[in-house]
């Protein structure tokens, strides 16, 4: 997957609520259903109150889904510590949290030196302006629309003002949203200007994953097209 510079929609299902005992097959099914990339949630039990998996699992998964773009969502303290391991495991993009490091710029530098794309996320309480000094160094930003740590939470609509602020300021920025995103909330995300859609339970638990992905993509691309026409 190539990042689109904010121009087209990309759907990346979060595998947090997938059957982790059958992860390779679950990921293959999600890609067959039309996903553009996979969003892999790494949690350390410290930055967020939950544990998931680390780079050994990613390294095992990589050959099972060759060529698929892996975005690592690193909900971990001291994200610098895991950069080399994730790069070696075959990750394509390393998205860390602004709140998790004392030196975001240095973290971005290390991510790029390891050969990965760099993303930065912010939690719902964090002001969007903290991202501004780093935008030119990043490949994407991720606006959390739930408090990170667990899947299946309720979408926080107030976070859409952050997406809208970023989109109005940066027309070609890849802006992601993550948390409670699905068919019932996708219009809000699209109208605000998000183009990288992380959807967990809504896609993974859907009885028709392909239709779910298609419907959300249609909503976002329609909104993006309308924005481009207004320019």
Residues in the annotated binding site for substrate:
14, 73, 149-152, 180, 200-201
Which residue among 41, 44, 139, 174 is the active-site one? 41
Q: What residues form the annotated binding site?
A: 14, 39, 41, 73, 149-152, 178, 180, 200-201
Which residue among 36, 44, 174, 178 is the active-site one? 178
H runs (alpha helix) in 33-120 = 55-61, 83-89, 104-113
The owner of tokens 């409670």 is 180
Active site residue 178: yes
Give the integer Cα–Cα distance in Å for 181 and 155.
Answer: 7
Angle at 175 between CA 168 and CA 80, to 5 degrees: 130
Q: Which has the closest alpha carbon to 202: 30, 54, 53?
A: 30
Q: Which has the closest alpha carbon to 47: 5, 23, 81?
A: 81
Active site residue 41: yes
Distance from chain centroid for Cα 197: 7
Q: In the structure, how many helices (H) and strands (E) does the chain have?
A: 8, 8
For the chain, what percentages of helix, strand and coil (3-state, to nearest 5) are there? Answer: 45, 20, 35
φ/ψ (deg, to 5) at 4? -100, 0
Q: What residues form the annotated binding site for a divalent metal cation?
A: 39, 41, 73, 178
Identify the three-state secondary structure at position 103.
coil
Give the integer Cα–Cα distance in Å for 187 and 5.
Answer: 20
Catalytic residue IDs: 41, 178
């Amino acid at each position: 997957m190539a990042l689109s510079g904010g121009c087209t929609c990309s759907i990346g299902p979060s595998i947090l609520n997938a059957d982790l005992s059958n992860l390779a097959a679950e990921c293959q099914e999600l890609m067959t259903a039309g996903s553009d990339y996979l969003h892999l949630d790494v949690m350390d039990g410290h930055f967020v109150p939950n544990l998931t998996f680390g780079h050994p699992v990613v390294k095992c998964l990589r050959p099972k889904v060759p060529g698929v773009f892996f975005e690592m969502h690193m909900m971990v303290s001291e994200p610098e510590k895991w950069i080399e391991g994730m790069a070696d495991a075959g990750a394509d993009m390393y998205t860390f949290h602004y709140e998790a490091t004392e030196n975001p710029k240095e973290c971005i530098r290390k991510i790029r030196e390891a050969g990965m794309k760099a993303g930065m996320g912010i939690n719902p309480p964090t002001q969007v302006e903290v991202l501004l000094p780093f935008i030119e160094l990043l490949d994407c930003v991720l606006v959390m629309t739930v408090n990170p740590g667990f899947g299946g939470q309720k979408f926080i609509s107030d976070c859409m003002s952050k997406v809208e602020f970023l989109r109005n300021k940066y027309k070609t920025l890849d802006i992601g949203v993550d948390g409670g995103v699905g068919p019932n909330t996708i219009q809000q995300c699209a109208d605000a200007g998000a183009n990288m859609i992380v959807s967990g339970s809504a896609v993974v638990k859907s009885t028709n994953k392909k239709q779910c992905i298609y419907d959300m993509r249609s909503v976002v691309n329609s909104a993006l097209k309308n924005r481009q026409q207004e320019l």
